[in-house]
Amino acid sequence: RKEVEQDPGPFNVPEGATVAFNCTYSNSASQSFFWYRQDCRKEPKLLMSVYSSGNEDGRFTAQLNRASQYISLLIRDSKLSDSATYLCVVTSGGYQKVTFGIGTKLQVIP
Amino acid sequence: EAGVTQFPSHSVIEKGQTVTLRCDPISGHDNLYWYRRVMGKEIKFLLHFVKESKQDESGMPNNRFLAERTGGTYSTLKVQPAELEDSGVYFCASSQNTEAFFGQGTRLTVV
């Protein structure tokens, strides 16, 4: 079983739609959780951290469910510029090993 | 403040040659990671330094790959001899506590 699992997609959604991605992780001792965004031929960049209490940043909402070991990302009112690959990232261990999911590709279409 | 920088940005080499990739992490970051993304696949962990020590090198594909981190500052990743399947984008990242910051990657093509 992979340490971090994501549906690779692609998710093709129309502008203005709401889309949700999920990610599961296998290590129950994982400590920190993030969503990164990667544009084509670019490096991954932090989109947002994920907390147990959930957090929201504009159109983006991230949630963590430790009991079920999954993380979600909700994007409301999708824009064309949201088209990218969204990477679920989990850190674990005393030295914060960073593990990536395969990434979910989102294509927002006009 | 400078981010994570990687050099070169692109490298095209012939099978059997040697290539050395360099990563300069953000100053003061103890954690340095190397990752590789092969076309169509996920970003795969190669290894993790804490300062100058290799904390975890379980992702290194084979003994043709050698990573070093001199004095706990910059790191190099040498591939010798390179094979066709080594082609991909090699990312370096650094962190201090939680969030990891990435370099722009080195696109390696072995022909």
Task: Report d(CA B6, CA B44) in Å as an integer.
Answer: 17
Q: What pLDDT score was predicted for residue A95? A: 61
Q: Using an 8 Å Cβ cutoff, are A3 and A88 in contact?
A: no
CB proximity A99 to B under 8 Å? yes
Residues 6 or more apart from B38 whose CB is under 8 A from it? B44, B85, B87, B88
Which of A45, A91, A99 shows the shortest C-beta gap to B98? A91
Q: How confident is the model at residue B99 (pLDDT cuts 50, 70, 90)?
A: confident
Q: What pLDDT score was predicted for residue B11? A: 96
Q: What pLDDT score was predicted for residue A3? A: 87
For residue A76, the distance in angstroms to the closest alpha carbon of chain B comes to 24
For residue B96, the distance in angstroms to the closest alpha carbon of chain A comes to 9
Task: Tell me what the mean pLDDT of segment B86-109 comes to.
Answer: 91
A/B interface, count of CB pairs below 8 Å: 52
With an 8 Å Cβ cutoff, are B102 and A103 in contact? no
Q: Which residue of A has its CA nearest to B103?
A: A43
Q: What pLDDT score was predicted for residue B72? A: 84
Tokens of A100: 């990536």
* Residues of chain A found within 8 Å of residue B52, distances taken between Cβ atoms: none
Q: Which residue of B has its CA nearest to A100?
A: B43
Task: Please say if the pLDDT value at position A1 is more than 80.
Answer: no
Per-window interface: A 18-57 vs B, CB < 8 A? 32, 34, 42-46, 49
Task: Please say if the pLDDT value at position A99 is more than 70.
Answer: yes
Task: Tell me what the mean pLDDT of segment B67-91 comes to.
Answer: 95
Which of A43, A49, A96 shows the shortest C-beta gap to B102? A43
DSSP per position, B27-58: TT--EEEEEEE-TTS-EEEEEEEETTEEEE-T
| Residue of B42, B48, B57, B109 to mutate, testing the A interface (most A Cβ within 10 Å of its Cβ) | B42
Which of A46, A102, A103 shows the shortest C-beta gap to B99? A46
The pLDDT tens digits of the residues spanning A49-97 come to 998 888 999 999 999 999 999 999 999 999 999 999 999 999 887 666 7
The pLDDT tens digits of the residues spanning B18-35 come to 999 999 999 999 999 999
- Share the mean pLDDT of chain B: 92
Helix (H), strand (E) at residue A17: none
Q: What pLDDT score was predicted for residue B42? A: 79
Task: Please say if the pLDDT value at position B81 is more than 90.
Answer: yes
CB proximity A101 to B under 8 Å? yes
